[in-house]
Amino acid sequence: MTAVSVGRAAPELPTPPGRAAAWPSASPSVWPASAVSAPGGDVTVGGVSLTGLAERYGTPTYVLDEGEVRARARAWQRALPDAEIVYAGKAFLCRAVVDWVEEEGLGLDVCSAGELELAATRGIPPDRIVMHGNAKSPEDLRTALRLGVGRIVIDSDCEIARLAAQVPGPDAQQVMVRVLPGIEAGGHEKIRTGAEGQKFGLSIAEGDAEHAIARILGQPRLELVGLHCHLGSQIATPEPYAQAVRRLVSFLARIRDRYGITLGELDLGGGFAVAYLPGDPAPTPAAYGRRIDDELRYACHGSGFPVPRLTVEPGRSIMAPAGVALYRVLSVKRSAGRVFVAVDGGMSDNPRPALYGARYTVRMVGRASAAPMRATTVVGRHCEAGDVLAKSVELPEDVRPGDVLAVPASGAYQVSMASGYNTTGRPPVVAVTEGRSRLLVRRERLEDLLRRDVGV
């Protein structure tokens, strides 16, 4: 398997012939560590030509470097060797990904019966699965109980009696309570989930979390094992996690003193940042791990509380850097001094820019060009003015229809959030490793979409 270095910048990639200014605009840190520049303006990932993948599988296509996924999973285990590392499946989940994380010794975090059933098809031990979500459906809870999920995270008062009534017994179902520590963190207001006044969790400050805990302790079919929180996404410094540790350990000590119960687990969720643009801050798992572990031990010592078993839920930080999206240029338009390059994908396969202004690096692959670079807006094919994939990216001035564009850091929250807008169908996902490729998820065809349409 191609060696992958996690926690360090990838080796500097040589500049393709005739493209003197091109590669520096796409820092290697936003690409999989296995990415290597190849003749003719191509790039290989996992030893496989991106241009060749576009030809073989068509476009849009999503490429996942299996070695990068596995290496990043291992990096989290090294960073927190005494903690449970649980992959957040909402970032991207398919059968192969379940296999990869299970083989690397990670647990799995799911948010629906569908994700849970998918995981069950691969035989991952249910006691290594955590289920959460702010509004679990009856089917979600039934499936979790039927399959024997290890921990269910309670997110509202409404879930307590509903869940307890369904536990078949004789053993109680282990649960955690998702609390709001009142911390503002995350790259955009729409992905900040640890502050007061939003839909997730139960407030510590307003007493909601303690009220829920008291109710759970009165339910013999529920076993409260710990607290859960999730601060948000794209958190580019360890400090909010340290702050959360201090507040949650203090709350754990208060629960012990008032209710005589010592909760033994603390789940800090995920949200660890990755680089989408050159220079984006993205601490290594080791940097997050050191700060979290140090603060946990210090806070517990100060409160006289035994160090709980820690869980973290990295999703994006494992999957996003392993993915590259491939598109083919359909048209080039020059208007009002701007250049618009339209591709054969867009917000149907990547809604992140439209949802919360996500930004990306873009590189042309498969054709060497000596043309000067120019600021370009890459747009999608859909009938929305907001269907913009990347603003102000540097592309050759002679970019033309038929060219292939590669977008790194595309492994998370793209295919998992994809839609069938304009009846285009969702793209395939292809794994690469050791110079070989294999299809993980096939392209959604028109007949797949029409099969659901039963009207006459």
pLDDT digits (tens, 9 = 90+) for 81-109: 999 999 999 999 999 999 999 999 999 99
Domain CATH code at residue 149:
3.20.20.10
pLDDT tens-digit readout, 256-266:
999 999 999 99
Amino acid at 125: P
pLDDT in tens, 158-174: 999 999 999 997 899 99
* Higher-pLDDT residue of 232, 302: 302
Model confidence at 8, pLDDT cuts 50, 70, 90, reads: very low
Provide the b/e sequence for 81-111 (b: ≥16 CB within 10 Å): eebbbbbbbbbbbbebbbebbbebebbbbbb
Q: Is residue 6 part of a domain?
A: no
DSSP one-letter string for 296-365: HHHHHHHHT-PPPEEEE--SHHHHGGGEEEEEEEEEEEEETTEEEEEES--TTT--HHHHH------EEE
Active site residues: 383
Does pLDDT of 197 surpass 70? no
Is 127 within a domain? Answer: yes
Residues 306 and 413 in one domain: no
Segment 144-166 shows an average pLDDT of: 94
HEC profile of 121-143: CCCCCHHHEEECCCCCCHHHHHH
Do 289 and 430 fall within a single domain? no
- Which of the pair, 157 or 169, is modelled with greater confidence? 157
Residue at which a domain ends, from 319, 338, 370:
319
161 in any annotated domain: yes
Task: Indicate the residue among 319, 341, 356 that finishes a domain.
Answer: 319
Higher local confidence (pLDDT), 26 or 404: 404
**pLDDT at 9 (0 to 100):** 36
- 148: containing domain: 66-319
Q: Do the domain assignments include residue 15?
A: no
